[in-house]
Chain A
């Protein structure tokens, strides 16, 4: 697979603040790549540098083999961009936006079908649209020229579940048609559902780049136990255990290793209730964050 996006040692400083600090990663053709991190971690700054809105302090960004600092015009012809909280022109109607985009990008072949699909009224002025409909217009503008790369910055933030579901459906279709998707989010179930690989960013640095399946297969378990006799938390702090907590009389053990030593320790007690679950992506994400602190 060829790389669609190649980011090398990207840094972006705002005075003393290092918003992005020497990150590197690649996004392969046809994959859906998630960019995970909490607010202020550097996700949006990275995307703004990638799209050429902001000038990087250092490093290189190449998309479809073109250096974005030199030659972004041709490349952007193949990129659809959707931010969270789309900001468009209040006094323009949906059609005004669509026609303006067509006058720059060229005639679109799928605009009518997109309007039908999203049940969008293009005659209303942008300022009269609900936040969901504003996002629909943003999505139509991003998809109307059938881009080969879709860049989305928290595209479902603040949307109702129905519209979130519709956007996820569109993204999955795009992926099946071979479109490369780069999506930043802090919505972990969304990333788990859509992405092939994820990069986790913290305080401007990449802390992990993982295949989403490999992440899921990490042997992280959560054991939630209610014991009927006396016990000490320290009893369960064996090598394979990451964390032992007592929450409302229940023992919560998080482990990324062998379960047997823990089960042997538990077997010495009277177990009233037990539940063992695979850790969610959220737990894995938190683990990465704790590890990098």
Chain B
């Protein structure tokens, strides 16, 4: 019924399992250490308070969420502020590349395009399958913490993980749509990956600059990272609605642009 979706799922299953297991592996590593760390939480918290606030700004962390007293705050600083976004972005770019540029680069796109089906169908089935895979990754890589917490006897707050999953999904959706856009624009996989990664790194740099320099504070609005605060999501269980709207709106516009471009571009190069 959905041959392109089914095929994509089969082709990407191994990657999905590898990324999801890697995320769960990192979670296990952090959660296994948590009971020991939480016993010395007050000392760690005191130590963190001695750091100048600019250090936290430079790595995009909110100092108010930094506490090792509960598991959500601990994971938000150790896992959600840096490691999870990196893992998720790399995975999203790899899925986005599958939609177009990988096939154009290898020449296999001719096989797809010779079939009696529209480009819109190929794109849509693949795009939404990719999105579903990423949603699965968000769920496993965040809710995976709960059985591990139970295993290690740590306390957890379920609602925080739900908020973190939703907020993270919107962020990764936006990054994925942007990478999809570059996947349909370029004809070489290396170039598409480099540009997608480069733009996200640039956004990260702009985000940091805007936090460190008050004169450049408006730069934050052009960075996707401004709308995603992984540590706030998990530690405080809050997420501003405008952020979801901004990420979702960007994702839809980028997806529509990618579809428009995919329909009109030369597939065989």
Residues of A within 8 A of B (CB): 48, 51-55, 73-77, 79, 81, 83, 87-89, 91, 100-101, 103-105, 141
Binary contact readout B256-269 vs A (1 if CB under 8 angstroms, 0 otherwise)? 00000000111110
- Measured between beta carbons, the chain B residues less than 8 angstroms from A55 are 264-266
- Measured between beta carbons, the chain B residues less than 8 angstroms from A76 are 114-117
Contact, CB under 8 Å: A53 / B266: yes
Binary contact readout B95-120 vs A (1 if CB under 8 angstroms, 0 otherwise)? 00000000000111111011111100
Contact, CB under 8 Å: A89 / B3: no
Contact, CB under 8 Å: B113 / A53: yes
Chain A: minimal CB distance from B239 (Å): 39
- Measured between beta carbons, the chain A residues less than 8 angstroms from B116 are 73-77, 104-105
- Measured between beta carbons, the chain B residues less than 8 angstroms from A79 are 114
B128: interface (CB < 8 Å)? no
B7: interface (CB < 8 Å)? yes
- Measured between beta carbons, the chain B residues less than 8 angstroms from A91 are 11
Contact, CB under 8 Å: B107 / A87: yes
B6: interface (CB < 8 Å)? yes
Contact, CB under 8 Å: B3 / A88: no
- Measured between beta carbons, the chain B residues less than 8 angstroms from A51 are 110, 113-114
Known: A76-B115, A101-B115. A87 touches B108 (CB 8 A): yes
- Measured between beta carbons, the chain A residues less than 8 angstroms from B267 are 53-54
Contact, CB under 8 Å: A103 / B106: no
Q: How far is the CA of A45 from the CA of B181 in the complex (A)?
A: 25
Contact, CB under 8 Å: A87 / B111: yes
Residues of B within 8 A of A (CB): 3, 6-7, 11, 106-111, 113-118, 264-268
Contact, CB under 8 Å: B115 / A105: yes
Kindly identify which residue among A81, A87, A88, A104 contacts B117, using a CB–CB cutoff of 8 Å: A104
Chain B residue nearest to A79 (CB atoms) is: B114
Chain B residue nearest to A90 (CB atoms) is: B106
Q: A48-B266, A54-B266, A81-B110 are in contact. List 19 more A-B contacts (CB 8 A).
A: A48-B110, A51-B114, A53-B109, A53-B110, A53-B267, A54-B267, A55-B264, A55-B265, A73-B117, A73-B118, A74-B116, A76-B116, A87-B107, A88-B108, A89-B111, A103-B6, A104-B3, A104-B115, A105-B115
Contact, CB under 8 Å: B7 / A87: no
Question: What are the nearest 6 A-B pairs in CB distance?
Answer: A87-B107, A103-B3, A76-B116, A53-B268, A77-B116, A54-B266
- Measured between beta carbons, the chain A residues less than 8 angstroms from B107 are 87
Chain B residue nearest to A141 (CB atoms) is: B111
Chain B: minimal CB distance from A147 (Å): 10
Q: How far is the CA of A73 from the CA of B109 in the complex (A)?
A: 16
- Measured between beta carbons, the chain B residues less than 8 angstroms from A74 are 116
Contact, CB under 8 Å: A81 / B114: yes
- Measured between beta carbons, the chain A residues less than 8 angstroms from B115 are 76, 101, 104-105
Q: How far is the CA of A120 from the CA of B13 in the complex (A)?
A: 28
Chain B residue nearest to A103 (CB atoms) is: B3
Contact, CB under 8 Å: A83 / B264: no
- Measured between beta carbons, the chain B residues less than 8 angstroms from A81 are 110, 114
- Measured between beta carbons, the chain A residues less than 8 angstroms from B7 are 100
> What are 16 A-B contacts with C-beta separation under 8 Å?
A48-B110, A48-B266, A51-B110, A53-B109, A53-B110, A73-B117, A74-B116, A79-B114, A87-B107, A87-B108, A87-B110, A91-B11, A100-B3, A103-B3, A103-B6, A104-B3
Chain A: minimal CB distance from B185 (Å): 15
Chain A residue nearest to B264 (CB atoms) is: A55
Contact, CB under 8 Å: B108 / A52: no
- Measured between beta carbons, the chain B residues less than 8 angstroms from A88 are 108, 111
Chain A residue nearest to B1 (CB atoms) is: A103
Q: How far is the CA of A236 from the CA of B118 in the complex (A)?
A: 61
Chain A: minimal CB distance from B112 (Å): 9
Chain A: minimal CB distance from B13 (Å): 12
Q: How far is the CA of A74 from the CA of B115 in the complex (A)?
A: 10
Chain B residue nearest to A47 (CB atoms) is: B268
Q: How far is the CA of A81 from the CA of B111 in the complex (A)?
A: 9
Q: How far is the CA of A150 from the CA of B7 in the complex (A)?
A: 26
